[in-house]
């Protein structure tokens, strides 16, 4: 044992300590200040890292081990409590720098609004960018009770940024009537209720394109992810979500970044949600990064 | 803001404050004093209301919004603790008055025994009444350890009131051998284990008839409804239960009343059960009331 | 039973339905978006009301019953998630109107920052206003990581508004060195660790003056209030806090308003914190309003 | 290992398997059907037994070991759910038989109403019987919302049975005004808020008399007993309750029976309440039985 | 009521008090000292017994009642904390004695390592023994961080004892790459991810042979069994596990012993895992013992 | 933001990244494999670090800030599950090396047995070493059910190592009769039940001597530390424990090392125990290290 090494601390299992040689950077965005129902996702990234010690480093699904992908855990981005605009600016700046160094950004939320500044950075780098969005909720509001910066608005903003025809939502089971109508009129793709089957149809159409993948853990049924802000019955199983990640992994799209958001540990005394999220992160790492 | 308005308080989201013009009356029956295993469903209705603020007012399944059905939340019926007979009399009286004013009763339990007095009131008004019963348990005992008023007896009583041939149970996976035999001999319908497929067969046979729908939340697998008195493995998913409600909504039966019972919040730290129940109530409202 | 009455819903036990004749208005301020550690106090007021049904209406400490004080439960003030400034403006406006109608404001938080706009409204009405502040934390920061609107700043703002010499803090056991030094230099009163004994010394000096009382539930030891954002060991007991409220009740100061903040139910599976808070509200009502 | 022995199962630590030679009989009264607020104490006795394995068999307070008192754990008395009258009759019959065999009855609740039939059996055997009652609540109602058999009425019934002048209540902090007035007029002793100091004054007056001791776990502050139906802030500590038991143990009164009631495990995820209760049972055994 | 009977205590519902005439012996192995992630399964057997009172005695799946199989609950085997080797020796000795009396051993864990000594005893009695293993994890390590006695090694040891070709694993979704490769090279059967369908293919090949069945509760998805040490997303449902047990029951294999391991109650506040386990035990009893 | 820095991860707030210049080394000993009742303290150190972000860096008790003491968080020592002897050897080796570099060791448990190898290392360095031990339990057994390496034995081993007359135990309220007798005969100091007052008497006698301080969190009452393996009613408050630490800080003894053990987070959904432990660590750092 050498005492002069910095203690690695609470990092995702198998992480690499060398930033320059890492292909992927894993980072937390511990923000939950615009959520309308149950807050707490600020503690999601830390808990996902903590429970990752329960994981095997090998994926029996992908026949690949964590050491085959070099990744660096950059920790949680420090964000100012209660100030959404400054928080989003800091995230955008962070990811822009990551992309300048040609890293694959793999983010952990925090509320879903954090995907908005990430996509601004992504879109500045990648032409013809598309997004695959798995979620229980449309997240297509223009504003929420007057606030344009809200956990209910990120996909709308992203659609306006990269064009609604480049947004592909799956598993959606909740939203306002106006949101569904806006999506329909705007030419955006929404698969209601299901993820895997419609994904199989869409993936070939995206072959070769750069795609960002954003997964709200509440696309899972509450049985599979009780630890999230807005649980919504009628969701998919963790087996289906894993299969969907593997379907993307085997497709010909070019995944250029991804995130997993809305894990709120306090609502799940069993910690199953954080454990499931840590497995999903492992599969995203091994499946999305070639 | 006007201070001279009564505060609406903890009512189901989107409720109407005007009783006379409401088509539906939502009410709680906070009784759990005859349960043999784990009590606590007395707090079910209050918690279902509280978490309903996490719901959207639009159903993406039924393409309908809550404002399209006028409903009034009458709160919890005050019931005397530990006195089953008086409690049941009060419920029967309450529902009888509702029916006299031509309201659609939508009840929230409480233990399942509360459906018995409701059915007495329903049967007094509707000729040729049938009941659709979704539950893990038969609830067909004559008495439970000598007590005829027990959470294990309501469907037996109902069968004796409206005739066993008018009782249709689905999803049943627990009961005494004698209960299954009684049902068989009496000509009552029991679909073991499954709900959706057998329901599709039965619904056409009930076309045009007045039907009451009673759902015990424990028809769901414990994974989907841990917050209930008697969890019983091997149940259906919340997706299947939603689909079953929608199947009824699209059928030609005439739903004349309904209830959802046995939500016991204390056994579910994540509150997923109450959240799921509030979504089920929304779908029952939007699907059952034309 | 009359169906044409609005259901009173989830209101504090014994509340009055008539606003004009009420002496006190009870209201919730469900805001928690600037907290730095654990959010969740937005659900405090609702849960305090819910569990108040477990209370007796009589205080054995004060020999007084709830019907002796007329109060109206105005519910929770609707506040925009993630927008501190607008939320505070709405609260200030609400309380200003209450004061214009000569009501005694009794608020429930929510994070402690909500006391700041309330005090702005109070100070506009009452000359020579003082504040009694019970808390584990100084709350005297000028800003928190750059944010002037933070749960760590309200007492500083209040001190600057009404003069530090009119601020009396008790039970304080956490803060930055700079905060304690600022208080000392500014002539503000801080009693470290204890509440009851130093309060007995201060109260006579405030005789006859209008005083606002703000209680952060975390002045209690975590054993007595686990359900709060920032638990801090070494606090007082609920018996001591009750005695402190009764000491104020028996004093000659003129309490003109009060609040109880930072109850965050999700961190307390036993619900003891909400139950304790509802008892504290009852004693504040019966003790502070003559 | 001998397989032909009956498995001792879940019994209180150190229990004796021989009924005839046992001086004390420990038994559970798993009834909670008349409680007005939070049910669940039916599971109290089983959990107290289960966690007793964490106890030492020696009391450092009394310098006595469990093997010095022979006791038999008779398990939980089977009671009919939802039928208070029959349940109470069964309990009375059980204790009457115990007393006929000259056993010391040590009961575990269950709701406090179970002490009423026990006292009927005790009073039939012992002349000049007094009762020491430690509780947060008066329990002196004549009826509760019309029900004479309620968890709010046992001490009233007992007072009417053995004479109010023989009832000594300690630690009381909640009740209706009428209850306190009735007690005062009837000549019954109530020590508000405190237990130990007033007990020291009363005990000498009871010297030589047969006394039954009933302890409602909610005499403890919620911090020390969150797992109970009606938590009530401002209570005593577990250290004070232990000292009170030891004060009785060292006094000259003749304890002839005792119970500990209202442990409701589900409200205490940490199980501290059940663990504390099992220690209290050990001290009652070692301290009350000479 | 006879007081001179030993209290049956916390035993599995419907258990027989007569060892000699019992066909099955149910016993707990409360050991969890080699687990690498979350301990707590030592309390599994006790809690499974406790919640079994919520079960019906009749299986609607198998049309059989508990009284049709005589079984004796031998309680938990006393094991020395922190000493794996001695614990395993005690278990082996216990089961060897059971087999000498021709009992069917039905064990409850405890960590999975407890199956290793049981299999040593089984293999000593039964020639041509095979094992059916349902689990999320391979458990095929040779050692874990240097320790050969680890919860990660039992199936490897068993494979070396009875021959890898006699080991049939189902539902496996986690392990090291080396473990999967060892299994493949050794000729051991592993069905990844699924249980029911591959089981249907394997069962006919085992017809007539003596088979031991070991079920790790984590073969279930975390949604269905949150109360276990190492939750692992992507598992099967409780409905599928029940169907797999029934498939075995209807097959022509000769089940000669079985266990259910890794229930850790503390991670499941709802107690759904223990309730599910108690139902599984009932179905194993009724299905495996002819 | 520089990406080429190793992420500091989950370390105690304010920790120093430079080992050589640090005066103190903080380290975790995540071992719980010999506990007889409830395991889980292996996760104590990680959770104490995680919640330390809720702490202020200033102590209002000691008027000192964390930056005034340089300390390095060495993380958790990797220990082999289920192998007590090897685990203890690793700890002894670790601390021996720390002492060779003249560091002040500040350990976090883990079960109390971890203090034994630490004391072996300490005693090898310091002549005339004494130990101050705060605990609910004597921990003086020679062995526990035959195991000499048990969480019930560390103080006995330490007493035999440094001489019983150099062991000073406080707050003890549980143990076997034999343990108390052994202590008495051996000339070891035990203060039953209380800590602060007897400590004031003992400290002057130890003036100038090197002293190790070991605190078992269960010296606190369960109300103040529900998250521990063996909760034991009748303990001291967190206010008293803080005062005891400060009493030592102000004394003339020479504290040369310390630990805080037995925090088991899973038994405390509120996380108050971990939060309290992190405050105690801060006060030990600021008070014990001159």
For the segment A91-95, the average pLDDT, to the nearest whole number, is: 97
Residue at F42 is within a domain: yes
Residue at E89 is within a domain: yes
What residues in C contact D230, CB-CB < 8 Å? 54
- The reply to whether ipTM tops 0.85 is yes
Q: Is B137 annotated as a binding residue?
A: yes
- What are the structure tokens assigned to A91, written together? 């995230």
Length of chain A: 290
Q: What percent of chain B has pLDDT over 90?
A: 83
**Token match 């959010």: residue?**
C39
The answer on pLDDT for B3 being more than 60 is: no
Question: For chain A, what is the mean pLDDT?
Answer: 93
Domain containing A275 — which CATH number? 3.40.800.10
- Disruptive mutation site among D13, D52, D55, D56 for chain F (greatest number of F CBs within 10 Å): D56
Question: For chain C, what is the mean pLDDT?
Answer: 93
End-to-end CA distance of chain A: 34
- Disruptive mutation site among D217, D222, D230 for chain C (greatest number of C CBs within 10 Å): D222
In sequence order, the β-bridge partners of residue D28 are D76, D108
Task: Determine contact, residues B276/B123, Cβ cutoff 8 Å.
Answer: no
In the prediction, which pLDDT does A36 show?
84
CB nearest B1 (choices: C7, C17, C94): C94
Calpha distance B46→B42 (Å, rounded): 8
In the prediction, which pLDDT does F9 show?
56
Neighbours, chain C (3 or more CB pairs < 8 A): A, B, D, F
| pLDDT tens, position by position, C40-98 | 999 999 999 999 989 999 999 999 999 999 999 998 998 888 889 999 999 999 999 99
pLDDT level of residue C145 (50, 70, 90 thresholds): confident
Task: Determine contact, residues B104/B133, Cβ cutoff 8 Å.
Answer: no
Gap from F273 CA to chain D (nearest CA, Å): 11
Q: Is D229 helix (H, G, I), strand (E, B) or coil?
A: coil
Beta strands in chain B (DSSP E): 24-29, 58-59, 64-65, 71-76, 104-109, 130-134, 167-172, 189-192, 210-216, 254-261
**Token match 């599928």: residue?**
E240
Beta strands in chain A (DSSP E): 24-29, 58-59, 64-65, 71-76, 104-109, 130-134, 167-172, 189-192, 210-216, 254-261
The answer on pLDDT for A277 being more than 60 is: yes
**Do residue B223 and residue E275 have CB atoms under 8 angstroms apart?**
no
Length of chain E: 290
For the segment F130-151, the average pLDDT, to the nearest whole number, is: 90
Task: Determine contact, residues B113/B153, Cβ cutoff 8 Å.
Answer: yes
Task: Determine contact, residues F23/F286, Cβ cutoff 8 Å.
Answer: no
CA-nearest of B59, B39, B48, B42 to B12 is B48
* A32: nearest CA partner in chain C: C33
User: C238 touching D, CB under 8 A?
Assistant: yes
Sign of CA dihedral B199, B202, B206, B211: negative
User: D226 touching C, CB under 8 A?
Assistant: yes
Return the HEC string of F41-79.
HHHHHHHHHHHHHHCCCEECCCCEEHHHCCEEEEEECCC
- Strand A64-65 vs strand E189-192: parallel, antiparallel, or unpaired? unpaired
User: D173 touching C, CB under 8 A?
Assistant: yes
* B11: nearest CA partner in chain C: C9
- What are the structure tokens assigned to A257, written together? 């970044």
Q: What are phi and psi of D192, to 5 degrees?
A: -80, 140
| pLDDT tens, position by position, A134-164 | 999 999 999 887 788 888 899 999 999 999 9
Residue at C8 is within a domain: no
User: B145 touching E, CB under 8 A?
Assistant: no
Gap from B127 CA to chain A (nearest CA, Å): 35
Q: Is B139 annotated as a binding residue?
A: yes
CA-nearest of A60, A19, A40, A13 to A281 is A13
Residue at E121 is within a domain: yes
Neighbours, chain F (3 or more CB pairs < 8 A): A, C, D, E
User: B28 touching D, CB under 8 A?
Assistant: no
pLDDT level of residue F181 (50, 70, 90 thresholds): very high
Calpha distance B226→B166 (Å, rounded): 30
* F271: nearest CA partner in chain D: D270
pLDDT averaged per 10 residues in sequence order, chain D, 290 residues: 46 83 94 89 93 93 96 90 91 96 97 97 97 97 83 94 98 97 97 98 98 98 97 98 98 98 96 97 97
Looking from the CA of D72 toward its CB, the CA atoms found within 13 Å total: 22
Phi-psi region of F146 (alpha: psi -120 to 50; beta: other; left: phi over 0): left
For the CA atoms of E101, E102, E103, E108, the dihedral, rounded to the nearest 10 degrees, stands at 90
Beta strands in chain C (DSSP E): 24-29, 58-59, 64-65, 71-76, 104-109, 130-134, 167-172, 189-192, 210-216, 254-261
**Do residue E8 and residue D75 have CB atoms under 8 angstroms apart?**
yes
Higher pLDDT, D241 or F2: D241
Query: Count of CB atoms within 10 A of residue A177's CB?
Result: 15
The answer on pLDDT for F148 being more than 90 is: no
- Strand A130-134 vs strand A104-109: parallel, antiparallel, or unpaired? unpaired
**Do residue C80 and residue A146 have CB atoms under 8 angstroms apart?**
yes
pLDDT level of residue F151 (50, 70, 90 thresholds): confident
User: F176 touching D, CB under 8 A?
Assistant: yes
In sequence order, the β-bridge partners of residue D65 are D58
Q: Is B112 annotated as a binding residue?
A: yes
Calpha distance F179→F170 (Å, rounded): 14
Residue at B4 is within a domain: no
In the prediction, which pLDDT does E9 show?
54
**Do residue E10 and residue D6 have CB atoms under 8 angstroms apart?**
no
pLDDT level of residue C16 (50, 70, 90 thresholds): confident
What residues in F contact D270, CB-CB < 8 Å? 222, 226-227, 231, 267-269
Residue at D165 is within a domain: yes
Low-confidence ranges of chain E (pLDDT < 70): 1-10
Range of the domain at F172: 24-288
Q: Is E150 helix (H, G, I), strand (E, B) or coil?
A: coil
In sequence order, the β-bridge partners of residue F228 are F263
User: F97 touching A, CB under 8 A?
Assistant: yes
Helix (H) or strand (E) run with residue D121 in it: helix D115-125
Residue at C18 is within a domain: no
Least confident window among C219-228, D9-18, E204-213, F193-202: D9-18
The answer on pLDDT for F260 being more than 70 is: yes
User: C237 touching D, CB under 8 A?
Assistant: yes
Q: What are phi and psi of A190, to 5 degrees?
A: -130, 120
C-alpha distances in Å from residue A173, one per residue of A157, B274, D28, E269? 20, 18, 49, 28
What residues in A contact B279, CB-CB < 8 Å? 232-234
For the CA atoms of C145, C147, C150, C155, the dihedral, rounded to the nearest 10 degrees, stands at 100
Please state whether the peptide bond connecting residue F69 to the residue before it is cis, i.e. omega within 30 degrees of 0: no
CA-nearest of F89, A238, B97, D95 to E136 is A238
Return the HEC string of A233-273.
CCCECHHHHHHHHHHHHHCCCEEEEEEEECECHHHCCCCHH
Helix (H) or strand (E) run with residue B23 in it: none
User: B61 touching A, CB under 8 A?
Assistant: yes
User: E120 touching B, CB under 8 A?
Assistant: no
Q: What are phi and psi of E281, to 5 degrees?
A: -60, -45
What residues in D contact E97, CB-CB < 8 Å? 1, 3
Calpha distance F188→F166 (Å, rounded): 7
- Disruptive mutation site among E1, E8, E9, E50 for chain D (greatest number of D CBs within 10 Å): E9
Q: Is A157 helix (H, G, I), strand (E, B) or coil?
A: helix
DSSP states of D210-227 as a string?
A: EEEEEEEGGGB-TTT--S
Please state whether the peptide bond connecting residue B110 to the residue before it is cis, i.e. omega within 30 degrees of 0: yes
Q: Is A89 annotated as a binding residue?
A: no
From chain C residues 260-289, the ones with a CB under 8 A of any chain D CB are 269-272, 275-276, 279-280
In the prediction, which pLDDT does B13 show?
87
Gap from F118 CA to chain E (nearest CA, Å): 20
Residue at D6 is within a domain: no
DSSP assignment letter at A132: E
Q: Is A181 helix (H, G, I), strand (E, B) or coil?
A: helix
**Token match 């073991």: residue?**
B192
User: C36 touching A, CB under 8 A?
Assistant: yes
Helix (H) or strand (E) run with residue F287 in it: helix F272-288
Gap from E233 CA to chain A (nearest CA, Å): 5
Calpha distance D177→B180 (Å, rounded): 54
Q: Is B126 helix (H, G, I), strand (E, B) or coil?
A: coil
Gap from B50 CA to chain E (nearest CA, Å): 20
The answer on pLDDT for F170 being more than 90 is: yes
Task: Determine contact, residues F108/F281, Cβ cutoff 8 Å.
Answer: yes
* Binding site residue list of F for Mn(2+): 112, 135, 137, 139, 216, 218
**CA B100 distance to own-chain centroid:** 20
- Disruptive mutation site among D196, D270, D277, D279 for chain F (greatest number of F CBs within 10 Å): D270
Q: What percent of chain F has pLDDT over 70?
A: 97
User: F36 touching E, CB under 8 A?
Assistant: yes
Query: Count of CB atoms within 10 A of residue E269's CB?
Result: 22
Task: Determine contact, residues A35/C30, Cβ cutoff 8 Å.
Answer: no
Calpha distance E208→C199 (Å, rounded): 83
> How many domains would you assign to chain D?
1
What residues in F contact D67, CB-CB < 8 Å? none
User: F223 touching D, CB under 8 A?
Assistant: yes
Beta strands in chain D (DSSP E): 24-29, 58-59, 64-65, 71-76, 104-109, 130-134, 167-172, 189-192, 210-216, 254-261
Q: Is A91 helix (H, G, I), strand (E, B) or coil?
A: helix
Neighbours, chain E (3 or more CB pairs < 8 A): A, B, D, F
Query: Count of CB atoms within 10 A of residue A125's CB?
Result: 15
**Do residue F75 and residue A8 have CB atoms under 8 angstroms apart?**
yes
pLDDT level of residue B8 (50, 70, 90 thresholds): very low
Phi-psi region of F134 (alpha: psi -120 to 50; beta: other; left: phi over 0): beta
Q: Is D18 annotated as a binding residue?
A: no
Gap from B172 CA to chain E (nearest CA, Å): 9
Least confident window among A6-15, A142-151, B68-77: A6-15
pLDDT level of residue B2 (50, 70, 90 thresholds): very low
- Strand B189-192 vs strand B58-59: parallel, antiparallel, or unpaired? unpaired
Helix (H) or strand (E) run with residue E29 in it: strand E24-29
CA-nearest of B163, B151, B80 to B116 is B151
pLDDT level of residue B80 (50, 70, 90 thresholds): confident
């Amino acid at each position: 044992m050498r005492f002069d090494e910095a203690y690695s601390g609470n990092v995702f299992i198998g992480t690499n300590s060398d930033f320059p040689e890492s292909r992927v950077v894993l980072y937390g965005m511990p923000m939950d200040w615009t959520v309308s129902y149950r807050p707490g996702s600020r503690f999601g990234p830390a808990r996902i890292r903590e429970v990752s010690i329960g994981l095997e480093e090998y994926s029996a699904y992908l026949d690949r081990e964590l050491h085959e992908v070099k990744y660096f855990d950059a920790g949680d981005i420090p964000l100012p409590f209660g100030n959404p605009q400054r928080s989003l600016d800091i995230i955008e700046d962070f990811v822009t720098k990551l992309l300048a160094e040609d890293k694959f950004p793999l983010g952990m939320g925090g509320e879903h609004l954090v995907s908005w500044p990430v996509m601004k950075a992504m879109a500045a780098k990648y032409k013809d960018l598309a997004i695959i969005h798995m979620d229980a909720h449309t997240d297509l509001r223009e504003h929420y009770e007057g606030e344009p910066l809200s956990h209910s608005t990120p996909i709308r903003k992203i659609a306006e940024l990269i064009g609604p025809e480049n947004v592909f939502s799956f598993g959606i089971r909740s939203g306002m009537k106006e949101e569904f109508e806006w999506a329909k009129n705007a030419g955006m793709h929404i698969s209601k209720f299901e993820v895997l089957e419609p994904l199989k149809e869409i993936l070939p159409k995206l072959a070769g394109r750069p795609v960002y993948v954003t997964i709200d853990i509440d696309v899972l049924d509450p049985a599979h992810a009780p630890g999230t802000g807005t649980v919504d019955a009628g969701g998919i199983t963790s087996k289906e979500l894993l299969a969907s990640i593997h379907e993307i992994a085997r497709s010909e799209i070019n995944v250029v970044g991804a995130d997993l958001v809305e894990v709120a540990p306090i609502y799940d005394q069993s910690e199953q949600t954080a454990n499931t999220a840590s497995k999903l992160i492992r599969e995203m790492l091994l499946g999305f990064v070639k």
